[in-house]
Structures are given as structure tokens and as C-alpha cells.
């Protein structure tokens, strides 16, 4: 192992000292000294940059750049959300019109009147939150109206009671028995005997039995002043007071009562007056 020999002479006492130091110890000492100098220089530079105006300026410029990027992203997000709200509000008005609810004026929507939201430090955000709250309230109103309308529609006689063809329509015609021109207050739907007859809407059976001239017949009250009448049936499948849903089988096609052939006489009463059943059905049957 290499060593460094150092000879030290003391003249007054005429003595000599011989120092022997390993070479690696010298190298380590030099490296440590260099490291101390470098670290000291870096720490001093860092302290100066943090404490001087130039260092603060660089740091603030970097933070400002990051804030500008965040603000730009925030502005883009607000624009996108604003466009979404405009489209949502337009669709909301269409839905309100379809369920007969009054439309919300655009100036009311922009102000968000009716919304309750805690104030925001950013006015644009506060206004948008009020618009969102108002839209939530509007959608809740639409949902309630749709449920009510769905319930009402179940009672409207909107389907045909039997599949067949119309032998005689609603209106004036020549009576097959008397030959005189008389009002025919319903539809004569021709179908094979025994064909099931369905209730055209939900309701309550107010009559099920025999009536002079009509034979076996059923009358259903659908509420709102609307009733349906099914006559000349072969058999009845319901009783008075029974509740029925749209499509339930209530009778079968026959030829009972004053009739010239197998068919179903179907009539609709609105506020006690006979009306054209075609005003209620959704799909028309073919005429003979």
C-alpha cells in the first residue's frame, strides 16, 4: 500500500518526527473538501435566489403561467357547459309543451329564478348553478306531469274492441229494419262469432247484461265523462262493478238482440252524447 512519508524537524530541540500517511486517506480528504465547497456554493446560490427579487420574479412567473393554464381550462369548461345548458333548456321546453306545462321564458332561465344555491365567489358560476337548479325543478315537474298523463291515457278508449271490418259507420244511414234514414250512433264491426271483444280503455263496468234491442251488452265508465258501449254479444265475460284494464276480454262477438248478422256494435258516449268512436282510436279499421 502506498504511503506518504513526511519528516518534521524541530531545530531547537534537535528532534525529528517521521509521519506516515496512507495515500487513500489523502485522496478522501481532498474529495471531501471539494464536496463541501460544491454544496456550500449550491446552498448559497439557492438562498440568494430565494431571497433576492430576481428569484421571486422567476418563481412568480412560473406560478402565473400555471394559473393562466388553469384559467383557460376553466373558461373552456364553462363554455362547454353553457352550450349544454342551452340545448338542455330547449329540450326542456319541448317536453313541457308535450305535457301541457307552461314554458319557462328565456330571461327567467338566464336569471335562474326559483333556484336556491349558496353564493359562489365567481358570479358566472353562481348564475350557472342557479340555472341548473331551476332545470332540476322543471324536470321534476315534467316527471309528475308525465305520470299523471300516463294514468289518464290508460282510461282513454284508444284501441279497437275487436279485429274485423266496419260494416256500417257512424252517422246517418238507411235502417235495415225500417228502411228509413236514421242516425247510427256507433260502428258495426263485422267479425266471426265467438271472437274476443276487448275493453278499449281502463275503467269500471257499469252494466253487463241484456238490453232490449241490443241483446247482450257491456257498458264501461272510463271517467272524465267518457263511456263505451258493446252490443249484440254472444257471451259476456265481466260483471257490473268490475274494474277492467285496456285489452281485457269482456265479451265475444255474437248476433243477439235486434241484429241482421254476426257483428259487434261499438259506441262511445262523451258527456252523455253519442260521438264518433273514430275520434278516439289510434289505428283505423278497413271499411266494407
Cα separations in angstroms, 115 against 9, 110, 112, 131, 132: 98, 11, 6, 7, 8
Across 197-204, average pLDDT: 96
Specify the pLDDT at position 85.
82
Domain ranges of the chain: 3-51, 72-153, 165-279
- Give tens-digit pLDDT for 14-38: 665 565 656 555 566 666 666 776 6
Higher-pLDDT residue of 43 and 105 is 105
- Give tens-digit pLDDT for 217-256: 999 999 989 999 999 999 999 999 999 999 999 999 999 9
Higher-pLDDT residue of 190 and 3 is 190
Half-sphere exposure in the Cβ direction for 35 (13 Å, CA):
6
Length of the chain: 288
Specify the pLDDT at position 115.
46
Indicate whether 10 pLDDT > 70.
no
Cα separations in angstroms, 63 against 53, 59, 101, 130, 152: 15, 6, 51, 32, 62
Mean pLDDT of the chain: 80
pLDDT tier at 46, thresholds 50, 70, 90:
low
pLDDT tier at 287, thresholds 50, 70, 90:
very low
Specify the pLDDT at position 288.
44
* Contact indicator for 101, 86 with CB cutoff of 8 Å: no
d(CA 124, CA 143): 29
Torsion of CA 216, 222, 223, 227, to 10 degrees: -40
- Give tens-digit pLDDT for 94-148: 888 877 788 888 778 777 654 444 555 566 777 788 888 888 888 889 888 888 8
pLDDT tier at 286, thresholds 50, 70, 90:
very low
Residues with Cβ within 8 Å of residue 279, at least 6 apart in sequence: 268
Return the H-helix or E-strand segment holding 117. Answer: none
First to last CA, the chain: 125
- Give tens-digit pLDDT for 161-179: 998 889 888 987 777 666 6
Tell me which CATH homologous superfamily contains domain 165-279. Answer: Glucose Permease (Domain IIA) (2.70.70.10)
Of 53-67, 150-164, 218-232, which range is least confident?
A: 53-67
- Residue 203 phi/psi, 5° resolution? 170, -160
Amino acid at each position: 500500500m502506498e504511503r506518504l512519508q513526511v519528516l518534521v524537524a524541530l531545530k531547537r530541540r534537535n528532534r525529528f518526527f517521521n509521519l506516515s500517511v496512507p495515500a487513500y486517506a489523502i485522496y478522501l480528504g481532498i474529495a471531501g473538501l471539494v464536496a463541501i465547497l460544491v454544496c456550500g456554493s449550491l446552498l448559497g446560490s439557492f438562498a440568494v435566489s430565494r431571497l433576492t427579487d430576481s428569484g421571486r420574479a422567476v418563481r412568480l412567473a412560473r406560478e402565473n403561467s400555471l394559473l393562466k393554464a388553469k384559467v383557460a381550462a376553466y373558461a373552456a369548461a364553462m363554455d362547454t357547459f353553457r352550450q349544454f345548458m342551452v340545448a338542455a333548456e330547449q329540450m326542456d321546453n319541448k317536453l313541457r309543451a308535450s305535457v301541457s306545462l307552461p314554458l319557462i321564458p328565456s330571461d327567467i332561465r338566464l336569471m335562474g329564478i326559483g333556484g336556491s344555491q349558496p353564493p359562489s365567489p365567481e358570479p358566472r358560476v353562481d348564475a350557472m348553478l342557479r340555472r341548473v337548479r331551476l332545470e332540476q325543478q322543471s324536470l321534476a315537474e315534467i316527471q309528475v306531469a308525465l305520470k299523471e298523463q300516463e294514468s289518464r291515457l290508460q282510461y282513454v278508449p284508444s284501441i279497437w274492441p275487436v279485429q274485423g271490418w266496419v260494416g256500417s259507420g257512424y252517422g246517418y244511414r238507411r235502417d235495415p229494419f225500417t228502411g228509413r234514414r236514421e242516425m247510427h250512433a256507433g260502428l258495426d264491426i263485422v267479425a266471426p262469432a265467438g271472437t274476443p271483444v276487448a275493453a278499449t280503455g281502463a275503467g269500471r263496468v257499469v252494466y253487463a247484461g241484456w238490453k232490449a234491442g241490443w241483446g247482450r251488452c257491456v257498458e264501461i265508465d272510463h271517467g272524465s265523462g267518457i263511456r263505451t258501449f258493446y252490443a249484440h254479444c254472444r257471451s259476456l265475460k265481466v260483471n257490473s262493478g268490475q274494474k277492467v284494464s285496456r285489452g281485457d276480454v269482456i265479451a265475444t262477438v255474437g248476433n243477439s238482440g235486434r241484429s241482421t248478422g254476426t257483428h259487434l256494435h261499438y259506441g262511445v258516449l262523451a258527456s252523455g252524447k253519442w260521438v264518433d268512436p273514430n275520434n278516439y282510436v289510434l289505428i283505423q279499421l278497413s271499411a266494407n
